[in-house]
Amino acid sequence: MERRTFLALPLAALTLPGVLSSAPASAVVPRPLALKGAARGGTDALALRQIRDLNASWYYSWGSTYTVTTNPGFVPMVWSGKALIRNNSVGDVIRQLPVTRTENLLGFNEPDYSSQANMSVDEAIRLWPLLQSTGLRLGSPCTVSATSPWLDKFMTKAARANLRVDFMTMHSYGWPNAESFLSKVRNLHEKYERPVWVTEFSVADWSATPSRPSRYTRNEVHSFMRAAVAGMRAMPFVERFAWYARGPSDPCLGPSALYQTNGQLTVAGRIYASL
């Protein structure tokens, strides 16, 4: 029985003949909780310390090669079509497999945004078989929004071409409302019927400026973080998540910062480490 189907069954249905026929009657298989990650691109000792200070189970750097450690585990990303072709990102991933031992590979980063991967759907479809050639589980291209038309077109064309997408990835930035955020996560899963990785999420005020910084308070961010993580861990289809942070002086995301300017954890960082 597929894991997703098993978890969707009502309790009474589990007593029907044959439902648990493949496992001993006394066996109770716990549902794995979503793994907390760190999104950190640094390559120095401070980056390593900060990743470990967060008690992360995994990390990624938006790149194809590990930066500071494979403990916690590193998950590579093929950031863009240019990185794939010019930098041989897939070659990097395969070459480092004996060290990283990763089972997962993240796809293109915000291909629908001009300052990020900046790719057409057709280009992504054309290059996707190169990612498949690694044999790793593949995360979908991660668009700016989980409801992006770009993503819908990609998934439609991927299905027609019999291309493999094993789990969905998403970014989410917005106001500190955990219910709204969790609804987006749930909707993404229900639309594409795949597990979900939330590879970037945070509280952000994109209208903020240096003279008028984020309208959201640190207490609001802390409450959102606790509720969002608890909510994701209650969702059987969420496999992994990673909070995204900039520095504490950033006008848009300052209250969401995980690290102080001296590299120590902020209060938000300590809360994230405890979750």
Helices assigned H by DSSP within the chain: 3-8, 45-53, 81-86, 89-95, 97-100, 121-132, 149-160, 178-192, 218-233, 267-274
Contact 141, 107 (CB under 8 A): yes
> Is 1 among the domain residues?
no
d(Cα 79, Cα 109) in Å, to the nearest integer? Answer: 5
- What is the mean predicted confidence (pLDDT) over 254-258? 97
Residue 72: cis peptide before it, omega within 30 degrees of 0: yes
Q: How confident is the model at residue 5 (pLDDT cuts 50, 70, 90)?
A: very low
Given a cut of 50, whether residue 9 has pLDDT beyond it is no
- What is the mean predicted confidence (pLDDT) over 239-254? 96
Contact 240, 37 (CB under 8 A): yes
> Is 81 among the domain residues?
yes
> Is 21 among the domain residues?
no
> Is 27 among the domain residues?
no
- What is the mean predicted confidence (pLDDT) over 240-250? 96
Contact 36, 230 (CB under 8 A): no
Q: How confident is the model at residue 27 (pLDDT cuts 50, 70, 90)?
A: low
> Is 111 among the domain residues?
yes
Domain that holds residue 185: 35-274
In order of 3, 7, 8, 18, 226, the CA distances from 12 in angstroms are: 17, 12, 12, 13, 32
> Is 206 among the domain residues?
yes
Q: How confident is the model at residue 30 (pLDDT cuts 50, 70, 90)?
A: low
Left (φ > 0), alpha (ψ -120 to 50) or beta: where does 113 sit? beta
| Contacts of 274 by beta carbon, 8 Å cutoff, 6+ apart | 55
- Residue 216's CATH number: 3.20.20.80
What is the count of structural domains for the chain? Answer: 1
- What is the mean predicted confidence (pLDDT) over 9-32? 45
Residues 145-172 have pLDDT tens digits of: 999 999 999 999 999 999 999 999 999 9
In this prediction, residue 31 carries a pLDDT of 64
> Is 7 among the domain residues?
no
In this prediction, residue 18 carries a pLDDT of 40
Residues 195-215 have pLDDT tens digits of: 999 999 999 999 999 999 999
> Is 159 among the domain residues?
yes
pTM: 0.87
